Structure 1
Amino acid sequence: MNSKAIITSALPYANGEIHLGHVASTYLPADVTTRFLKLNGVEAYYVCASDDFGTPILIQSEKEGKTPSEYVAYWNKRDYEDFKAFGIDFDFFYKTSSDENIKFVQDVFKKLNDAGHIYEQEIIQFYCNNDKKFLPDRYVKGICPYCNAEDQYSDLCESCGRVPEEITDPKCSICGQTPTKEKTMHYFFKLKNFADSLYKWLDESEHLQKDVKKYVQNWIKSGLIDWDITRDITWGVPIPLDNAKNKVFYGWFDNHLAYISTALKFLNDKGIDGKAFWNSADIYHFIGKDIVYHHYLFLPAMRLGINSEYKLPDYIPTRGHLTLQSKKISKSRNWYIGLKQFLNYYPADYLRYYLVAINPYSQDDLNFDWDDFTTRINSELIGNLGNFVNRALGFTKKAFNGVIPKTTTFDEKDKEAEEKISGLSSEIGDLMNSNHLDRALKKVMEFSSFFNQYFQHKEPWKNGPGTENCVYLAVNAARSIAIAVYPFIPESSQKIWTQLGFSDNVNDHKWDEMSELAIPAGHMLGEASPLFSKVEATDIERYKKQLGPQ
């Protein structure tokens, strides 16, 4: 494990509220990983930014009578507040429209241009005569030429994940009419020239997912196409050339560069050499499977094009999409749950627990199901973990006035319980290091289940031989759980910590401390109370009815 790390996640587009689908694949896994790394003593920083540029923002801001800057400022603030309420603990949250990012993007372009990786070419682009504008990216929909999927955007097929050279049967996304083709001058990045170096980087990368690497390498083998990095709109990072007036960079040219510029801004302001830190740290980019093409091809090629002045990512954890009740999430059809909306229903830790538990480290899609959510929270989080902590601490308060008793000689069951505690940090840590967050959380729940059974077997309420040992080990197991669940459910973790009678914060401690019997005889517990409240079926039925057309 490197002593330094920079963690990023795909930038939230500043054009609407954050919903459950956004947080499941990127922000929550990134946050859990960052918290884990920090507990292990890693100097880790989680940085992010709102993605502020593009045609959709320009059009929507016009509809609302705002400038684009005013529009994205609102969503930057709102998104950050929603993330914070969910327990996403960014070290720094910035914006792609910042002066720092604009300057950085233009500087990278100049270096790529000077190195001969950019060329100018006249192209034919879709133009809507009805709306009187060129139609970049998501304002043209049609059929993917690779897999024949319908209703796909011109810059990305969400079905096969490839970027079409030209969409088939194009339609204007604004008015639905067939656009014409007009001439315009654009700038291109020579992506084709990086095929060999990209293939080699993928081959040599130790931590990238094997299945993702394989099909990206197949893309490379089938032939890359040069990348059009220009857009004919007014809202974006201006191209720093005299003959490129009224042209800006394609959003995917500038937004992932904000990973670097945002990190540099944050670190330099802290008095740390940002560039040196970046190049000596482990770099994580958490993404969803729909943007693999950009992060495995565009992003590394651009860094290679400036002679790897900033190191390429070590990890690109890639996960699938979230569906809702087994249907694709759709804002236009009101088939989604806003993050802020959900947090009005239940505590953040309920959602954090559920989304980690159902989310494997793979590109397989996952499904949010209200009934499954109810079952898992009630039977696992409350019936297992909450039940154990409450009974262990509650019994100690009742039978020993909250004071941990002195132990006697351990029997075989006690020794087994002691071994469970001593092995917990490495058992869970190995899974966390491998990004199998769901499996790590499952191990915590198995640990809690073991101690529920241990407590039941020892029957301390009968006050027989070994009662003191049972109380001592059970309370120490609750302490282990408090540290182990901190990355996943931090608010509940701190509640356990406080009930254990500690006045500091659980994250002031180290990961390995969970495997210590650190609560001695004579320690006084705090006040014990239930950690969670049951999810009621009647409430769930009401929430279900709020989905879909109203």
Structure 2
Amino acid sequence: MGQSQRKRGAVLPVPGERNILITNALPYVNNVPHLGNLIGSTLSAYVFARYCRSRGYNTLYVCGTYEYGTTSETRALIEKCTAQQLCHKYHAIDDGVCKCFNISFDTFGRTTTPLQTEITQEIFLKLHQNEFLKEEMITQLYCEQHQSFVQGEFPSCGYPEAYGDQCDLCSQLLDSLELKSPRCKIDGATPVTRETKHIFLELDKLQSEIAAWFHQAASSGVWSNNGKEITFAWLKEGLKPRSIPRDIKWGAHVPLPGYEDKVIYAWFDACIGYVSITANYTDEWQKWWQNPDDVQLYRFLGKDNVPYHTVIFLGTQIGTRDTWTKLHHLSTTDYLTY
């Protein structure tokens, strides 16, 4: 989409009016969306966007596909295609599913764009400049044939397909060495251990500011109970530094010397996708994302995505020391079982 096309007809905030920015969780492009994806965030966000417009609020509804990371690279290996080919395929499928249910957005973008890389790297370097990043050597599990595609059983809840950083079932963090019966996701081979250099986001340094914002936002906005409880549980346990890079090829590269073979992982840049998709929609994206006085941000998520938005991305925003539009309203659902 060219620059002139992005500018033409773009919805922008109007000073003095009620300006509503709406996002729902960006689907990963590694599978066909299911009913839980629709119920978990997309349908409720769309209904709310229609409600806002019916009330005359100036509304921008942003969505798209998150296309980088281990899940895309793994699925591409399984489907015997390139990661880019996989992303083209499932972006079209996701778009088609939404159209099938008559769900529309002001913009439905994707994260495999130059602006995604540019904005992600700029945020990363600001955190580095502000001394919220640190470098450490770590020991990790590694598949020699397929690099870092390692899964195993999560020790506390028994989920058999946990990756080596967080469990998708109970949302707890872990070190990959804690996985029981670790194996390569592609061929089931037993991984080896190796030392590697990583960059960590020091969330512990940002904890007091994140907590202060959480208590203020959860009281001034409207948050679902599970959204508040999950965020509070993370803060009560105490935030810990979290590794940003991964030893894969598909993603925005870490913009520091010595990290040419590593990319920025999904937990760090997936939420930046909302920003880059808006930037591909309008050159004046800062009027939405760096304008807290005029814009209220409403998010719709499944509960598994809560800490990425209310802790990690919020900490990232705070750590840049830029003026960001931060979360006002949070609507989160539990898992749909059927």
TM-score of the alignment, normalized to the shorter chain, above 0.5: yes
Alpha-carbon deviations, 1:425-466, whole Å to 9, x = none?
xxxxxxxxxxxxxxxxxxxxxxxxxxxxxxxxxxxxxxxxxx
C-alpha change, 1:273 and 1:314, in structure 2 (3 Å) is closer
Partner of 1:54: 69
Look up the match of 2:250: 235
Could you tell me how far apart the structure 1 residues matched to 2:110 and 2:154 are?
Answer: 33
Map of 1:320-469 to 2, 5 A cutoff? Answer: 320-324=334-338
Say whether the 8 Å CA contact 2:244–2:268 is kept in structure 1.
yes
- The 1-side partners of 2:323 and 2:129 are apart by 15
1:280-307: CA deviation from partner (whole Å, max 9, x where unpaired): 2111121101122212211110011112
Cα distance, 1:117 vs. partner?
0.7
- 1:59-458 to structure 2, matched below 5 A, reads 59-129=74-144, 131-135=145-149, 139-144=150-155, 147-154=156-163, 155-166=165-176, 167-172=178-183, 173-205=185-217, 206=220, 207-268=222-283, 273-275=287-289, 280-324=294-338
* CA distance in structure 2 between the aligned counterparts of 1:132 and 1:15, rounded to whole angstroms: 17
Q: In structure 2, do the counterparts of structure 1 residues 46 and 112 end up closer, same or farther at CA, with 3 Å as the change threshold?
A: same
- How far residue 315 of structure 1 moved from its aligned partner, in angstroms, is 1.4
| Residue 215 to residue 67, structure 1, CA distance change in 2 (3 Å) | closer
> Could you list the per-position Cα deviations for residues 160-199 of structure 1 after superposition, in whole angstroms to 9, with x for gaps in the alignment?
3222244331412333343221111111100111111111
| Partner Cα distance (1:272, 1:159) in 2 | 35
Could you tell me how far apart the structure 1 residues matched to 2:299 and 2:286 are?
Answer: 21
Report which of the two has the higher share of helix: 1
Q: Which whole-Å CA distance do the structure 2 matches of 1:210 and 1:79 have between them?
A: 29
Change (3 A) 1:215 1:16: closer
- For the residues of structure 1 that align with 2:168 and 2:73, how far apart are their CA atoms? 23
Distance 2:68 2:305 in 1: 17
On the 8 A contact 2:249/2:263 being kept in 1, the answer is: yes
**Alpha-carbon spacing, 1:2–1:19, altered in 2? closer, same or farther (3 Å):** farther
In structure 2, what is the Cα distance between the partners aligned to 1:290 and 1:141?
A: 19
Distance 1:215 1:51, change over 3 A: closer
Matched residue SS, 2:328: coil
Say whether the 8 Å CA contact 1:283–1:314 is kept in structure 2: yes
Please identify, of 280-289 and 200-209, the stretch whose mean Cα deviation from structure 2 is larger. 200-209
Secondary structure in structure 2 of the residue aligned to 1:315: strand
Bigger RCO of structures 1 and 2 (CA < 8 A, at least 6 apart): 2
Taking only aligned residues, the RMSD between alpha carbons, in angstroms, comes to: 2.2
Shift of residue 69 of structure 1? 1.4
1:4 aligns to 2:14 (yes or no): no
Query: CA contact under 8 A between 1:229 and 1:253: conserved in structure 2?
Result: yes
- Partners of 1:251 and 1:313 lie apart in 2 by 20
Change (3 A) 1:286 1:305: same
* Corresponding letter in the other structure for 1:93: F
Unaligned runs of 5+ in 2: 1-15
* C-alpha contact (below 8 Å) 2:67/2:111 kept by paired residues: yes
Equivalent position amino acid for 1:300 in 2: L
Structure 2: distance between partners of 1:272 and 1:251: 23
* TM value normalised by structure 2: 0.87
* Bigger CA radius of gyration: 1
CA deviations 1:134-167 (Å, max 9, x no partner) are 33xxx322223xx343315133324432222443
How far is the alpha carbon of 1:121 from its aligned partner?
1.1
Aligned equivalents of 2:17, 2:299: Cα separation in 1: 16
**TM-score w.r.t. length of structure 1:** 0.55
User: Secondary structure at the residue paired with 2:190?
Assistant: coil
Higher strand share: 2
Distance 1:200 1:24 in 2: 31
Per-residue CA distance 1:393-444 (angstroms, 9 max, x = gap): xxxxxxxxxxxxxxxxxxxxxxxxxxxxxxxxxxxxxxxxxxxxxxxxxxxx
For the residues of structure 1 that align with 2:258 and 2:170, how far apart are their CA atoms?
A: 36
**Structure-2 separation of matches of 1:279 and 1:108:** 21
The CA distance in 2 between the partners of 1:104 and 1:194, in whole Å, is 21
Contact 2:78 2:186 in 1 (8 A): no
Residue number in structure 2 paired with 1:392: none
Deviation at 1:262, TM superposition (A): 1.5
The amino acid across from 1:102 in the alignment is T
Q: Shift of residue 67 of structure 1? A: 2.3
Q: Per the alignment, in what secondary structure is the counterpart of residue 126 of structure 1?
A: strand
Q: Deviations over 1:31-53 (max 9, x none)?
A: 00000000011111111121111
Q: Which residue of 2 aligns with 1:475?
A: none
Secondary structure of the equivalent of 2:282?
helix
Structure 1: state its 5+ residue gaps: 325-550
Q: Secondary structure at the match of 1:311?
A: coil
The letter for the 1-side match of 2:147 is K
SS at match of 1:217: helix
Over the matched positions of the two proteins, sequence identity in percent amounts to 26
**Alpha-carbon spacing, 1:10–1:208, altered in 2? closer, same or farther (3 Å):** same
Match of 2:13 in 1: none
How much has 1:215 moved relative to structure 2?
Answer: 4.2
CA distance in 2 between counterparts of 1:242 and 1:193 reads: 24
> Per the alignment, do residues 24 and 132 of structure 1 end up closer, same or farther by CA in structure 2, a change over 3 Å counting?
closer
Aligned length: 317
